[in-house]
Amino acid sequence: MAGGYGQGGGYGTWDRDEQTRQFGREPQPGQYEQPRQYEPAGQYEPAGQYEPPRPPKPTVDAGKLWAAGIATAIVAALVAMVGTLLVRAVLRIAFNGPAESGVLGDSRTVLLCVLSAVAALAATGLAHLLLLSTPRPMTYLSWIVGLVTVVVALLPLLGSGPIAERVTSAVIYLVIGLVISSLVAGAGASARRGPSTRTR
């Protein structure tokens, strides 16, 4: 029994030598890879301070909008003048002055033209404000201008005077308001540039 079990002079000697050889080996080049170290610099913010990016707001082409507003003011003044001319020359109604004032009436015709132009510019300013501050600006513009137009058109009907003159005033005011509302709303829609608009 001099040999014992295994070669090496004792029980389990071979096993211990084999483990020693295994742990004593040097790793071959490329056998083990070092784990990658990620060191983000400023890429992550502490918890509770992250704010999601806000979508860009739509912009307004102010030059285009106000150019259209000036054109609308001219159109509104011409509508007032043509309406007065049509009523006085064709329908023979003494609107904006007595019959002897001529086909264009008196100074009240000039005042109506000026007020129509001012109303168009005021609607343009309102459209600009709504484009910068509200989600559906043209909808609000149409409602505001429409309701103001209805009020202005109803005022002559509540006054005194010949019924023909009162109805004529209401109709002309209503037409002027509709012209201003439609033209300014169209100008505002074309002057608005959304965040997804890209130049191709």
- Reply yes or no on whether the pLDDT at 35 is more than 70: no
48-62, 137-151, 169-183: range with lowest mean pLDDT: 48-62
Q: Which residue has the higher pLDDT, 173 or 96?
A: 173
CA distances (Å), origin 112, targets 35, 74, 80, 123, 193: 83, 12, 7, 16, 34
Instruction: State phi, psi for 60 to the nearest 5 degrees.
Output: -125, 130
For 115-167, write each residue's pLDDT tens digit: 999 999 999 999 999 999 888 899 999 999 999 999 999 999 998 888 989 99
What pLDDT is stored for residue 130 in this prediction? Answer: 93
Residue 86 pLDDT class (50, 70, 90 cuts): very high
Write down the pTM of the prediction: 0.67
